[in-house]
Amino acid sequence: MTADVKSYTAYRPLDIRPLVCALLFLAIFAGCQGGRYYMANRLQELGIASALGLFALGAWRGLFHLDQATWKNWFVKPICLIIGIMGISSLAFYANYGGNPLFSFFSAREFLLAFIGPGIYLLCRSGFPLMTVERTLRFTLVALMLNYLFFYFTLDLKTLFFSSDHTLSNLVTYDEWRGFRLKPPLFAIMVALMAALISLRQSSNLPAWLVSFSVLGIAIYIWSIVMFRSTLATMIMSILLYPVLLASKNRIPIMIVLCPLAIVLLPVGFQVMLDVFLGSDGGAIRSKAFALAFEQIPRHFFLGAGEDNAYGATYQDIVAPYFYPDDIGLVGTLYKYGAVGAFLYLFMHFKIWRQLWRANTQFVEVQGRINPLLWGLLMWLTALAFNLILNPGLAYAQGITLASTAFALASLHLR
């Protein structure tokens, strides 16, 4: 009897925290394109597997800890949304141009990264510490920036740019005044920079201040390399608008009053952004691609052309050798996914933004301070909204990864 008691008391439940943190790190690191600089971004496949692992683990634990309605909401709906996007876009391409729809389905596999958010939510609702998730996310953002600097200083950018292998040449951009630049994990840097600003302001002791200052310094240094002026402008606009319009629910009347003015100024702002967009390097090719997209869109208006793949006809074979929908903003999304897909994109963008805004305002009201990570994600998504027409970033791996994570964190904080 005594031996049985000792055996029972010696038992400890399995600690899954290291496993969850490892899966979370790999999913976000790979989803934000941290592995694009080696092995032709094969690390993204591991990131997708990690995202699916998080989702499966969260779904399994949620079965025993959550009510049926919540479990279905965060298990069934994400599956229908994500698999629906991948399936419909692949079938649309098959209906329009033939080929193997299965190849097109797996060509859209970066959407599977969206399972990160539901996995985080189900795990945290089942008892996993939210603070551990946020700490892992902050660590991953810093790792992405250090990873970029390592390859920036060790790779021969000029050789890569002129490489005949497109997976290598696509890593580097060039113009006369900025020279050769390694493409960065842009969205991760944006979130890290803005979160570090708040952390620096709210640091209560010297070690925390030094960490925040170091992260901010790394982000600013990377920005001095890439020098994305339009993106920096949208970030500054978001930060300046925050105390005026977004800091609390009391600002809603001001937002309503300013809406007509924003609508009036929208065409002017769009024209300025379009001029910058078309006037930058490769602008002449983009303008031709825009014209071709507008010619093609009426032919498959509702569901779009669909998702092409490397094992059959591509957009370059069908439309023009220089036609890449990903390079022409929301018009490219409309061409690729149709009116239904473009509407769904806009709906999800503002749904996630609203959830982040609500979570941020509630956190400030309850805690009396700003959560740096929530605020950084809110400012990132606000900055993307200013450039939405020319850069629908949530339709690609980096945006899918961070948007899904942001929605889960905001939903958890709202509880």
Q: Tell me: the pLDDT tens digits for 128-154?
A: 999 999 999 999 999 999 999 999 999
Neighbour-count burial of 413, counting CB atoms closer than 10 A to its CB (0-12 exposed, 13-18 middle, 19+ buried): buried
Task: State the residue for tokens 């020319």.
Answer: 390
pLDDT at 71: 94
Domain residue spans of the chain: 13-414
Instruction: Write the CA distances from 401 to 31, 78, 161, 334, 345, integer angstroms.
Output: 6, 14, 27, 21, 15
pLDDT at 241: 87
Distance CA 375, CA 364 (A): 10
Distance CA 197, CA 239 (A): 10
Asked whether the CA dihedral 203, 220, 238, 170 is positive or negative, the reply is negative
Inter-residue contact 188 to 406 (CB < 8 Å): no
Distance CA 400, CA 407 (A): 11
pLDDT at 132: 95
Distance CA 339, CA 333 (A): 9
Distance CA 67, CA 251 (A): 36
Structure tokens that stand for 277 in this block: 């967009």
Structure tokens that stand for 246 in this block: 């977004």
pLDDT at 272: 60
Residues in the chain: 415
Distance CA 57, CA 27 (A): 14
Spatial CB neighbours of 34, under 8 Å, sequence gap ≥ 6: 43, 143, 144, 147, 185, 188
Pairing of strands 179-182, 172-175: antiparallel
Instruction: Write the CA distances from 235 to 200, 242, 361, 376, 377, integer angstroms.
Output: 17, 11, 19, 10, 11
pLDDT at 26: 96
Inter-residue contact 19 to 26 (CB < 8 Å): no
pLDDT at 254: 65
Return per-residue pLDDT of the chain as tens, 415 residues.
455 545 444 556 667 889 999 999 999 999 999 999 988 888 999 999 999 999 999 999 999 999 999 999 999 999 999 999 999 999 999 999 988 899 999 999 999 999 999 999 999 999 999 999 999 999 999 999 999 999 999 998 888 888 888 788 888 888 777 788 899 999 999 999 999 999 998 888 888 899 999 999 999 999 999 888 888 888 998 898 888 877 777 766 666 666 666 655 556 565 566 566 555 555 667 778 888 888 889 999 999 999 998 888 888 888 888 888 888 888 899 999 999 999 999 999 999 999 999 999 999 999 989 999 999 999 999 999 888 888 888 999 999 999 999 999 999 999 8
pLDDT at 391: 83
pLDDT at 8: 47
Inter-residue contact 90 to 312 (CB < 8 Å): no
DSSP for residue 406? H
Question: What is the CB neighbour count within 10 angstroms for residue 150?
Answer: 11
Distance CA 200, CA 225 (A): 23
Q: Tell me: the pLDDT tens digits for 158-187?
A: 888 888 887 888 888 887 777 888 999 999
Answer left, alpha or beta for residue 356, where phi above 0 means left and psi between -120 and 50 means alpha.
Answer: alpha
Which stretches of 135-204 are assigned E, i.e. beta strand?
Answer: 172-175, 179-182
